[in-house]
Structure 1
C-alpha cells in the first residue's frame, strides 16, 4: 500500500483528511464517494489537470507519480485510488464496505485489483483513443519523462500526442467488453459486485460506467450493469461526490467538448 513518507513541511503540517483530486477523474470519483458514504469530513484541493498542476513540484512532493487523487491524512500522503479505498476502509471501518463472507471478500479484492490492472490498457486507452486528443503538451514531455518514475505512463502520454494506434483502441474495446460480460453475469445473480451488499468493488467500478457512458460506450448489451449503476446513482453520496461535479452539458456534446479541450490545451495553454 503506497502510504508514503514525506519531509515536505507544507504536507506535514496538514491536519485531518485532505484530498487532491479532479472533478472528472474517475479515480477521484471513487475516493470522494467513499469519503462521503462514510460521512467523513475532508478538505478539497482541486488539481487543474488542464493546466498541468499535477506536474508541479509542489504536487510531486505529495504524489511522486503526479497522479490524482492523492490523500493526505494528518501529514501522511496515501496514493493510488484503489489503495486509498482500502486505507480509508481500514482506518474508518464504519459503515463497513467489506463483506463478512470470505468468498465475497475475496471477490471484492479481485474486482478492485482488476480495475487497477486494466486502467491504462483499457480505460485510458479507450477514452483517449476515442477522443483523439492529447493528455500532455509536447513541450512538457521531456520534463515529464524525467520526473515520472512510471515509464508505462510516460509511453501512454506520448501515444496520445502521436495518436493511439487503432489496433490498441480495438484491443481496449475487446477487453472492456470481456470484463463487462463477466460483470453482467455477476450482477445477474447479485445486487452488487461482491454479493448482496455494496463493497469497495462497487466504488472501484461505478465511476468507470459514469465516464464511459458519457463518452458514448454502448452499455445496452448489459442491462444488469445499467440497473446496478442506476441503483448506486440514487445514493446521496453519488450525488455529492460525482453528479454535482459533472458538467451539465448533454451527453452528445461531451465528446466534441473533450476533443476541443484537448486541442486547445496542446496549442494554447501556457
Structure 2
C-alpha cells in the first residue's frame, strides 16, 4: 500500500481535507476502475477532476500531492494514497460491506493485480498509437522537467517515474512505432488467453461473483476494444463477459467520454482505418 508520509506532500492544504476525496480524470483508465469501485460501494466521496489534456497532473500543485504525477489519487481524512490498485484494496478494506476482495483470496488477487499493472505501459502504448492524435498526446517539455525533479515517496527518492519519463521522451521523438505496438499487442494476446480460459468455466474471472479483478480487466478490455482489438473473434468468452459487465450501470457510466474527446478520437480512428494503420493489421489478427 503506497500511503505518502508528511514529508512527501508539498501541497499541504490536502492534509486538512476531511472525508474521502478522489483526484481523477474522466478518461484515465486507472481513474475509471477506482470510480467503478467507489460506485459499487455506495460510499460518499468528493470529486476533484484533474485535466490530463491540459496537463494539470504535471503542475507543481498536483505534483505536491502525488510526486509521480499520475491519477487517480485518493485522500482520506488528509492521508494521501497513490497507485490505483492499492487504492482499490484500500477502498474494499475500509468501505465495502460486500467485499470484492475475498479475505482468503487477497494474496492471489494482489499477485493478479500486479500482473495487470505490469501491462499499464503497454496499454498506454496502444492507446497513444491507435486512439489518441499525436497533438493531444505530447507533453510540455517544461512540465516534464517539473516531473523529473527529485521527489520522495515514503521518504525515499522515487525512481518509479523513470519509465514514465522514458516513455514521453520516446513518444516526443518518434511516436509509437510498429514494433513497439506489436510487442504490446503480443503481451495482451497472452494475457487475454489466460482470461479466456478462466471464463470458459466461470461467470467472472474468479468464479461466480464479481471481484476487483473484473473491475481492473473490464477497463483494459474497454480501452483496447475502442482501439480496435477484435475481442469477439479472438476471445469470445472474454467478449461476452465484458458485455455482461457493461450492462451494470456502475461499470458502464465510467466508460463514457465527453463528446468533443469522443469526436476527435472517432475521426482519428477513421483516418487510421483508411491508412490501414490498425491494431488488427499491426497485430496480425
Asked if TM exceeds 0.5, the reply is yes
**What residue in structure 2 maps to residue 265 of structure 1?**
none
Matched, 1:3 2:3: yes
What secondary structure does 1:188 align onto?
helix
- Residue 29 (structure 1) aligns with: 32
Let me know the Cα RMSD of the aligned residues. 2.5
Normalising by structure 2, we get a TM-score of 0.81
SS of the equivalent of 1:78 reads strand
Note closer, same or farther for the CA distance 1:194–1:40 as it changes in structure 2 (3 Å cut). same
1:218 aligns with 2:230: yes
Long gaps (5+) in structure 1: 261-270
**What are the Cα deviations for residues 182-227 of structure 1, in whole angstroms up to 9, with x where unaligned?**
1111111111112211111111111111111112122121111111
1:119 maps to what in 2? 120
Matches of 2:177 and 2:44 in 1, distance apart? 43
The number of residue pairs the alignment matches comes to 255
Could you tell me how far apart the structure 1 residues matched to 2:133 and 2:4 are? 35
Kept after mapping to 2: 8 A contact 1:12/1:74: yes
Report the TM-score, using the length of structure 1 for normalisation. 0.86
**Secondary structure, counterpart of 2:54 in structure 1:** coil
Quote the offset at 1:72 in angstroms.
0.5
Q: Shift of the alpha carbon at 1:237?
A: 1.2
The within-5 A match list for 1:20-169 is 20-99=23-102, 102=104, 105-120=106-121, 122-130=122-130, 131=132, 133=134, 134-146=137-149, 149=158, 150-162=161-173, 163-169=175-181
Q: CA 1:180–1:32 in 2, change beyond 3 Å: closer, same or farther?
A: same
Listed as ranges, the gaps of 5+ residues in structure 2 are 152-157, 272-285
Whether the aligned pair in 2 keeps the contact of 1:206 and 1:229 (CA below 8 Å) is yes
Q: Secondary structure at the match of 2:51?
A: coil
Report the equivalent of 1:181: 193
Provide Cα deviations, 1:49-71, integer angstroms capped at 9, x if missing partner: 11110011111121110100000
Q: Does the 8 Å CA contact 2:19/2:77 hold for their aligned counterparts?
A: yes
Aligned to 1:124, what secondary structure does the other structure show?
helix
